[in-house]
Structure 1
Amino acid sequence: MSSVIRLLSPRLANQIAAGEVVERPASVVKELLENSIDAGATRLDVEVEEGGVKLMRVRDNGVGLSKDDLPLALSRHATSKIYELDDLEAVGTLGFRGEALASISSVSRLLITGNQSDNPTEGWSARSEGRDMATELMPAPHPRGATVEVRDLFFNTPARRKFLRTEKTEFSRLEEVVKRLALAHFDIAFSLSHNGRAIHQWRACNSRIEQERRLGQICGNAFLENSLYVEVERAGLKLWGWVALPAFSRSQADLQHFYVNGRAIRDKLVTHAVRQAYQDVLFHGRHPAYVLYLELDPATVDVNVHPTKHEVRFRDSRLVHDFLFRTLHHALADVRPQDQMQPQEASPAPKVAGASSGVFGPQSALGLATPGQATPQVLDSQPASHWQNARPAPQALQQQMQSYGALHPSPAPAQPLPDTPEDMPPLGFAIAQLKGVYILAENAQGLVVVDAHAAHERITYERMKAAFDAEGLRAQPLLVPESIPVSEKEADLAEEHAQIFNNLGFGIERAGPETLLIRQIPVILGQARVEQLVRDVLSDLSEHGSSERIRHHINEILATMACHGSVRANRKLTIPEMNALLRDMEATERSGQCNHGRPTWFLQSMDALDKLFLRGQ
């Protein structure tokens, strides 16, 4: 290896830059579309052949390019997005590095055509085939806007071409890029074709209804039907978009779209904040789904921290984290059963606390026979008491838990069903109890099945949290202060965020450069591993600028207490007691899920039941 320092040739420098920007056809299309969006385009057409390896053509109707601009557009570090340092500190465009076209042209055969006038005959084009600069400049008819053709990607770097996947895989990744940008810019029309076949066609959206139509086309109607729309603006931050109900969770984090000022990002701080918002309602191992947009002053976010611009850095990360967490936490908490009911004439798909039937399986979730199976017994002639489990609860359970009515007195006797659907409560009125586990109720839509233990667990948990917050944290001093060896950075964090610990009942002081003393702890955490908890909080503060870990640990203890203090299986409830539970569910936050994220109720509409039994066919 030579020790002589030499200046890289422009061609080699471009190809090295291409290694950072151009990974595959999808990354090329991303850069081209972002340039078109920055150019003010209102329509974008993408044509692809052989997954993008043979051809990628992006056509827009933006401001276009003049004859003099074309050679510069293919030069390194040439851009119309920024001109001085102040522009870089408040980037408001998607592209700004001035490397994309130069990098792409160094590993492909590129043709760019543009026109800035309304006269189509005044268009010009420039061609580059892996060379240092565009050498061919020629007239080319073209309407206002620009078209970029990229052919034979990596034709001059065969080693990199070997790393590409199959045509189907490469097109799938390219399609995902187009979808992400279509979600980010509802005001732009998009089209995508592959090997001459139209794949997607999305019109520009001028209303929220049109936005949701595009959202359903890209993310699926199931996501749209089972999501909440949020829009909150505070302290210079605005968050809007759609978050899925907890029951519509995913096995993979494959339906998570987050945009900052129109730029799609993947950020650990954002993921942590969203995950925290779902922590009380998400089943373990599942992932939330969302399409969210954060708008803030461009000067308060640095988008120049990664070559692909997928990551950002917020100036006040703690403010952003807390804003995201609290906004989504309150949005999910405010969901009530009445918000999750579909009109009776709507789709007959079963609904589990707002989820589509696909999440929990088809209609067999109720244990009902499907056509072709044995005919179920007719129960209409049986009295309601026959539906209740006659077996007595085990003695231990009877001693541990009294009936729901003993804890929460219920109005009695039960009221008859109202004559009009408008007078019917969202979860309806109880008609029976099944096997001492499920409450069967009738509402305006049809049959509601409620897991009594799961529902009561959530109600008890929310009441315990409210009582705990109202009474405040009771702290107990330690007879012998506990010493914790920490790093100097962690000790500094503990000093800087001492108020956070104080608010949560901890008395922590610094006893040396790398030593902390715990002098008091919350009473409820008397049996917890306090040292490990403090270390985890310091880790959160270092990573995210805030921590909900102590509060989460307290909530876990309250959740355990609520679980042990809730109605158990095989507890025989009276009709008034069951109705009292239903009314409490309708008034309780997060009542669609228990403390462990399991659904608490299930709706089977009359239309679905009619289809199940082939009525009217």
Structure 2
Amino acid sequence: MPETARIHLLPDLLISQIAAGEVVDRPASVLKELLENALDAGSSSIQVQLEEGGVKLIRVSDDGSGIAADELPLALLRHATSKISSLDDLERVGTLGFRGEALASVAAVARVTLTTRARGGDGAAQPHAWRLTGGSGATPEPAALAAGTVVEMRDLYYNTPARRKFLKSESTEFAHCSETLRRIALAHPEVAFTLAHNGRVSLHLARSDARGRAGAILGEEFLAESRCVDATSGPLRLAGYCALPAYSRARGDAQYCYVNGRFVRDRLLAHALREAYQDLLHGSRYPAYCLFLELDPATVDVNVHPQKTEVRFRDSRAIHQFVFHAVQRCLAGPLAATATAAAQAVATPGDIASPLPTPPAAAGVRGQPFAAGSGRPPWQASLGVSEASRSGAYEAFVAAARMSTAASTASEPAPTMVDGATAPLGYALAQLHGVYILAQNAAGLVVVDMHAAHERILYEKLKHALQQQNLTSQALLIPAVFSADEIDVAAAEENATTLQELGFDLAPVGPRQLAVRSVPALLLAADPTALARSLLHELREHGAAQLATAQRNQFLASMACQGAVRARRQLSLAEMNALLRQMEETERADHCNHGRPTWMQLSMADLDRHFLRGR
């Protein structure tokens, strides 16, 4: 048997190298720690220089407060920090760094040089700068530097070549470094950043405000397709931007979430945001957002992960509900507010501003108005729709149209727009190729995708009716009989109660035949056989329990999709106007259930520019 190894103390260098494996896993990790130190020092301008993706060189220069000469040797020692001094400080930490491990970990696996010139108590710089090269035991030497600190890291993993083999290509490592800087810069718009790679400047961010910095990093298209969030509840505040479904992504690479200015990847927050988008994005699309959560530092533990990218909340449920409802309200903003913004931006043909009265909000509109600060061009405004369903309540809005406009006929002219005090979506003019509704409002021309809009309306009605346990069913004059597999027949018999709750009467009329005797009243125009087959498929896949909870909305979305008015269906003006009025009263009417916009606004100014009027 081999001799049992004796317990012994590890050398300090090996301890630091082990610790470095938790903090420093690639050049981007080093850059993150150095940038956080520069920000904690109160810097207003930070320059970053990289070579070979950061493997050969990372140099971070700042104009912060600097480090006193007598404290310089401590900067490279483990657990030496100016950020905290007690457990109470740790529990209320407000700085980005606090452990005192970053520089020591970097110095254990790379060659580090610190050059700094501290400011005195009166703000004046010390007589000259000091430079410290190497690890513990090194002596500071006089150096030249105007102010602040320069941290230079060379030859990452030069003394641990096995770990260097795990690094990726130069371009990949640089991409990670660039993304790290962007994440940090998003939370600190008051600081200027410059990033250079192999002698070429790749990114320069001037000092700005939150909106300007978001536009510089995420792009103006993101801002144009986003709504501004600013919600407060006691000590909690959530601010930032949530992109509308039209800006959804195939990957989750445009999701930036911060807690007290620190970029985090938190499962609780990610789940709250995913749930907030649930009625707008179904399938494999990912929402885009840039959100900043502010709360009392004592109610969040940031000392969870060595890289400080995970946090733990004291009252996680309250945080989840706050974030969920704030974002959901923002995304469910009423259509009326968006159309109003377009009306207020309209200009006369002579390019002279013509203020119009604000159109009144339609009765029944719920949610928060579209944020004026999002800077979205009026003609790009789109009403939100989720991936719900398109079930057959075509008769519902037709009946509403006939009741509200009994005297209207298809040949009757549309109401004339004489001022802004009209319906936000205006009044229908015509139908284009049986697909789009053309309407006139105070701002100009409104184009509506009638199928997508009706899909959202039906989905929201089905959800509301089911929640209120008021999903009425309508008996079919002639039952729809169709052939079915034995497993479908068994599923229909086994889940008869669930089917009735959903408004269906589905019964076997033979060993391999089922009859649909009644369907939800909202879906009368849909194909009853297709609805029944879809419902039985969901029951087989997920069971009655899941269909009543997590899968319910997806199924309702599917039903709404099937029941919505189809393309090429000719509508009268009364029917088109009824659809417009229902859109104005429906939450998330900006987009259909699949995330596509349901309408767009072309202002008179847009049309005048296109036709060169007034020139």
8 Å CA contact retained: 1:430, 1:579: yes
Paired residue for 1:145? 148
8 Å CA contact retained: 1:430, 1:441: yes
The number of residues matched between the two structures is 511
How has the CA–CA distance of structure 1 residues 235 and 532 changed in structure 2, closer, same or farther, with 3 Å as cutoff?
Answer: farther
Paired residue for 1:568? 566
For the residues of structure 1 that align with 2:307 and 2:91, how far apart are their CA atoms?
A: 18
SS in 2 for 1:328: helix
For the residues of structure 2 that align with 1:454 and 1:531, how far apart are their CA atoms?
A: 27
How has the CA–CA distance of structure 1 residues 460 and 45 changed in structure 2, closer, same or farther, with 3 Å as cutoff?
Answer: same
Shift of 1:204: 2.7
Paired residue for 1:490? none
Match of 1:353 among 379, 382, 399: 382
Match of 1:196 among 194, 199, 202: 199
SS in 1 for 2:395: coil
Instruction: Map 1:305-324; keep pairs closer than 5 Å.
Output: 305-324=304-323
Shift of 1:147: 1.5
Shift of 1:529: 6.3
* 1:512-556 Cα shifts (integer Å, max 9, x gaps): xxxxxxxx99973799869977987xxxxxxxxxxxx95554444
Paired residue for 1:121? 127
Moved more, 422-431 or 29-38: 422-431
How has the CA–CA distance of structure 1 residues 558 and 602 changed in structure 2, closer, same or farther, with 3 Å as cutoff?
Answer: same
The amino acid of 1:136's aligned partner reads T
Paired residue for 1:84? 86
Paired residue for 2:33? 31
With normalisation by structure 1, the TM-score equals 0.74
* 1:300-335 Cα shifts (integer Å, max 9, x gaps): 211112111111111221111111111111111114
8 Å CA contact retained: 1:121, 1:140: no
Match of 1:46 among 42, 45, 48: 48
8 Å CA contact retained: 2:383, 2:599: no
How has the CA–CA distance of structure 1 residues 535 and 91 changed in structure 2, closer, same or farther, with 3 Å as cutoff?
Answer: farther
Shift of 1:424: 6.3
For the residues of structure 1 that align with 2:336 and 2:60, how far apart are their CA atoms?
A: 46
8 Å CA contact retained: 1:242, 1:291: yes
How has the CA–CA distance of structure 1 residues 237 and 450 changed in structure 2, closer, same or farther, with 3 Å as cutoff?
Answer: same
Mark the runs of 5 or more structure 2 residues left unpaired by the alignment.
348-374, 385-389, 473-496, 504-535
Match of 1:71 among 70, 73, 81: 73
For the residues of structure 2 that align with 1:193 and 1:431, how far apart are their CA atoms?
A: 56
Instruction: Map 1:540-559; keep pairs closer than 5 Å.
Output: 552-556=550-554, 558-559=556-557
Shift of 1:611: 8.7
Instruction: Map 1:98-497; keep pairs closer than 5 Å.
Output: 98-117=100-119, 118-128=124-134, 131=135, 133-205=136-208, 210-336=209-335, 338-339=337-338, 343=345, 351=380, 353=382, 401-402=394-395, 404-408=397-401, 409-411=403-405, 412=408, 413-419=412-418, 422=420, 425-443=423-441, 447-469=445-467
The amino acid of 2:294's aligned partner reads E
8 Å CA contact retained: 1:349, 1:608: no
Moved more, 607-616 or 446-455: 607-616
Paired residue for 1:592? 590
How has the CA–CA distance of structure 1 residues 251 and 349 changed in structure 2, closer, same or farther, with 3 Å as cutoff?
Answer: farther
For the residues of structure 2 that align with 1:465 and 1:13, how far apart are their CA atoms?
A: 58
8 Å CA contact retained: 2:225, 2:244: yes
How has the CA–CA distance of structure 1 residues 614 and 233 changed in structure 2, closer, same or farther, with 3 Å as cutoff?
Answer: closer
The amino acid of 2:154's aligned partner reads R
8 Å CA contact retained: 1:404, 1:573: no
For the residues of structure 1 that align with 2:46 and 2:75, how far apart are their CA atoms?
A: 19
Mark the runs of 5 or more structure 1 residues left unpaired by the alignment.
356-396, 475-519, 537-548
For the residues of structure 1 that align with 2:499 and 2:43, how far apart are their CA atoms?
A: 58
8 Å CA contact retained: 2:448, 2:599: yes
For the residues of structure 2 that align with 1:115 and 1:167, how far apart are their CA atoms?
A: 33
Paired residue for 2:475? none
For the residues of structure 1 that align with 2:13 and 2:394, how far apart are their CA atoms?
A: 77
SS in 2 for 1:45: strand
8 Å CA contact retained: 2:37, 2:96: yes
RMSD: 3.5
Moved more, 585-594 or 527-536: 527-536
How has the CA–CA distance of structure 1 residues 400 and 468 changed in structure 2, closer, same or farther, with 3 Å as cutoff?
Answer: closer
For the residues of structure 2 that align with 1:3 and 1:471, how far apart are their CA atoms?
A: 70
The amino acid of 1:269's aligned partner reads L
For the residues of structure 1 that align with 2:101 and 2:544, how far apart are their CA atoms?
A: 46
8 Å CA contact retained: 1:430, 1:442: yes
* 1:133-177 Cα shifts (integer Å, max 9, x gaps): 151311123344221111222222222222222222222111111
For the residues of structure 1 that align with 2:83 and 2:18, how far apart are their CA atoms?
A: 23
Paired residue for 2:578? 580
8 Å CA contact retained: 2:334, 2:584: no
Paired residue for 2:507? none
* 1:391-445 Cα shifts (integer Å, max 9, x gaps): xxxxxx9x9853732244343354344256x456543432222343322334566
For the residues of structure 1 that align with 2:63 and 2:309, how far apart are their CA atoms?
A: 26
For the residues of structure 2 that align with 1:616 and 1:173, how far apart are their CA atoms?
A: 50
Shift of 1:274: 0.5
With normalisation by structure 2, the TM-score equals 0.74
For the residues of structure 2 that align with 1:535 and 1:431, how far apart are their CA atoms?
A: 47
For the residues of structure 2 that align with 1:100 and 1:535, how far apart are their CA atoms?
A: 50
Q: Percent identity?
A: 50
How has the CA–CA distance of structure 1 residues 596 and 224 changed in structure 2, closer, same or farther, with 3 Å as cutoff?
Answer: closer
How has the CA–CA distance of structure 1 residues 167 and 559 changed in structure 2, closer, same or farther, with 3 Å as cutoff?
Answer: closer
SS in 2 for 1:111: strand
For the residues of structure 1 that align with 2:328 and 2:499, how far apart are their CA atoms?
A: 24
